[in-house]
């Protein structure tokens, strides 16, 4: 009798460099099918501009039905100039927003990890970023991007624009639990970032996080930090952080700041997680932080590491395959140590490789490390 665990993955490559980086990730998935006690079944579908071209919709109901059923989704990237004139609600990015919204993916996890071999590529001094490993947990479905009213009124030279920042206790409660749970598997430290000095939502945020901490996570170190100070500390001394939990707006900004500490967009993975359903499954989508990079699409120049590393996050967070995720991370680290570089991270004296060349090298290292 087989004891092999099986998992269904929906692969949404999307537009631009999406299909190129997904192809390399597919090779890594196949490698784990051959070398682990887990079996992944993959289903491909269209999203974004590619889906619009085929179906006049960036996220069809049929695709959404599959997205709701699988164990996890891997998403490439969407968008490009080709679709600038399509109706607003059918633009490629609307496909991504529908996935996040319909699946209620409320927790966005963005690791900022600086591989030692790339420390020189950061805008900060290498000693400040070498070995950096921060996890930003951003609330993704609430806050000022969604609050009502959201409108522009008035006419002519004197108009009035309103965005509304709203948070309810349950929204803060669930994101705080994700952050504390994450910290327990990492450095056991959480910084909760808001602006309670000037915002009512900040006061509630701090109150709820403090309460959850006291009740259920007292063994995790908790510090409250104002969002502006957090931004400053991220560039002054980033290694003081382990997990940062914050709202949608501050998270948008702080995660980009943290991201650029590490060098290139082509290196950054992310996960968006939802609640665990009645079927015991947690909704989850994994995607690189970067977009569809139309300027380099189809030229074999795209760095596939952010996409491959997103699959690594999938192994860790959807399937509890920490050992396999570590192995994949080690393989990537080794390839970079060996001096292989796609054009976006190229440095003098290193060896330039193509998208598939980077895929070849990661597979070769996986073979080395597991032999
Ligand atoms: P982008 O992230 O696509 O590209 C920014 C720069 O980084 C470009 O010079 C690009 O060549 C480079 N780059 C990005 N990823 C790379 C990789 N893996 N390897 C090597 N270089 C890489 O952002 P943009 O140019 O502002 O946007 C292009 C399109 O992507 C737009 O249509 C935008 O709306 C869309 N977009 C989509 C997502 C998403 O799907 N999640 C995110 C951001 C932007």
Give residue-wise pLDDT tens across range 50-63. Answer: 999 999 999 999 99
Kindly list the catalytic residues. Answer: 145, 195, 228, 252, 256
Instruction: Pick 1 or 358 by higher pLDDT.
Output: 358
Mutating to test ligand 1, I would choose from 86, 293, 299 the residue with most ligand atoms within 8 A of its C-beta, which is 293
Sort 219 into a burial class: Cβ within 10 Å, 0-12 / 13-18 / 19+: exposed
Residue that the structure tokens 């995607």 belong to:
287
Q: Output the pLDDT for position 118.
A: 87
Measured CA distances, 93 to 97, 298, 299 (Å): 6, 20, 23
Q: Which of 27, 42, 16, 137 is nearest to 361 (CA)?
A: 27
Q: φ and ψ at 121, to 5 degrees?
A: -80, -10
Measured CA distances, 275 to 133, 175, 248, 284 (Å): 25, 10, 17, 9
* Angle at the Cα of 48 from the Cα atoms of 165 and 22, rounded to 5 degrees: 110
Q: What is the mean pLDDT of residues 107-134?
A: 89
Q: Which of 284, 249, 247, 248 is nearest to 269 (CA)?
A: 284
80 CB within 6 A, ligand 1: yes
From the CA of 21, give the closest atom in ligand 1: 18
Domain ranges in the chain are: 1-110+262-371, 133-260
Percent of the chain clearing pLDDT 70 (strictly above):
99
Please tell me the pTM assigned to this model.
0.91
Mean pLDDT of the chain: 94
Instruction: Pick 28 or 113 by higher pLDDT.
Output: 28
Which numeric CATH code is attached to 133-260? 3.40.718.10
Q: What is the mean pLDDT of residues 250-264?
A: 87
Q: What is the mean pLDDT of residues 7-14?
A: 98
The two structure tokens encoding residue 325: 């995720």
Q: Indicate the pLDDT class of residue 265, thresholds 50, 70 and 90.
A: confident
Q: Indicate the pLDDT class of residue 16, thresholds 50, 70 and 90.
A: very high
DSSP 186: T
Q: Output the pLDDT for position 146.
A: 87
Q: Indicate the pLDDT class of residue 102, thresholds 50, 70 and 90.
A: very high
289 CB within 6 A, ligand 1: no
The second-level CATH assignment, the architecture, of 1-110+262-371 is 3-Layer(aba) Sandwich (3.40)
Query: How far is ligand 1, taken at its centre, from the CA of residue 293, in Å?
Result: 4
Ligand 1, atom 18, lies closest to the CA of: 266
Q: Output the pLDDT for position 128.
A: 92
Query: How far is ligand 1, taken at its centre, from the CA of residue 175, in Å?
Result: 27
Q: Output the pLDDT for position 120.
A: 83
DSSP 47: -
Q: Indicate the pLDDT class of residue 1, thresholds 50, 70 and 90.
A: very low
**pLDDT of 2 strictly over 60:** no
Percent of the chain clearing pLDDT 90 (strictly above):
86
**pLDDT of 295 strictly over 70:** yes
Alpha-helical segments (H) within the chain: 18-35, 49-55, 61-69, 92-102, 126-129, 169-184, 200-216, 227-236, 248-260, 305-319, 322-337, 355-370
The two structure tokens encoding residue 102: 């319909």
């Amino acid at each position: 009798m087989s004891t092999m665990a099986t998992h269904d993955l929906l692969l949404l490559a999307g537009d631009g460099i999406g299909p190129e980086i997904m192809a390399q990730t597919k090779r890594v998935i196949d490698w784990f099918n051959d070398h682990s006690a887990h079996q992944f079944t993959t289903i491909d579908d269209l999203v974004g501009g590619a889906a619009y071209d085929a179906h006049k919709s960036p996220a069809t109901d049929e695709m959404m039905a599959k997205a709701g059923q699988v164990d996890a989704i891997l998403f490439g990237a969407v968008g490009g100039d080709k679709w600038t004139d399509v109706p607003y609600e059918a633009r490629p990015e609307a496909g991504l927003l529908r996935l996040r919204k319909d699946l209620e993916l409320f927790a966005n996890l963005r690791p900022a990890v600086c591989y030692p071999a790339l420390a020189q590529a950061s805008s900060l001094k290498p000693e400040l970023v070498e070995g950096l490993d921060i996890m930003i947990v951003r609330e993704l479905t609430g806050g000022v991007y969604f609050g009502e009213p959201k409108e522009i009124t008035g006419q002519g030279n004197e108009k009035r624009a309103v965005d509304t920042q709203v948070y309810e206790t349950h929204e803060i409660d669930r994101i705080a639990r994700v952050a504390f749970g994450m910290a327990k598997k990492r450095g056991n430290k959480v910084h909760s970032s808001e602006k309670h000095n000037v915002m009512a939502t900040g006061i509630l945020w701090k109150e709820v996080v403090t309460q959850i901490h006291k009740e259920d996570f007292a063994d995790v170190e908790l510090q409250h930090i104002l969002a502006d100070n957090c931004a400053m500390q991220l560039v002054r001394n980033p290694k003081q952080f382990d997990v940062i939990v914050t709202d949608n707006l501050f998270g948008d900004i702080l995660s980009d700041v943290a991201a650029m500490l590490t060098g290139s967009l082509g290196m950054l993975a992310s996960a968006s997680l939802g609640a665990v359903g009645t079927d015991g499954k947690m909704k989850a989508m994994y995607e690189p932080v970067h977009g569809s990079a139309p300027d380099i699409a189809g030229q074999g120049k795209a760095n596939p590491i952010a996409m491959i590393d997103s699959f690594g996050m999938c192994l860790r967070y959807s399937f509890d395959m920490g050992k396999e995720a570590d192995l994949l991370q080690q393989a990537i680290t080794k390839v970079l140590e060996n001096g292989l570089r796609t054009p976006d991270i190229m440095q003098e004296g290193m060896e330039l490789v193509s998208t598939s060349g980077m895929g070849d090298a990661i597979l070769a290292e996986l073979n080395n490390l597991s032999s």
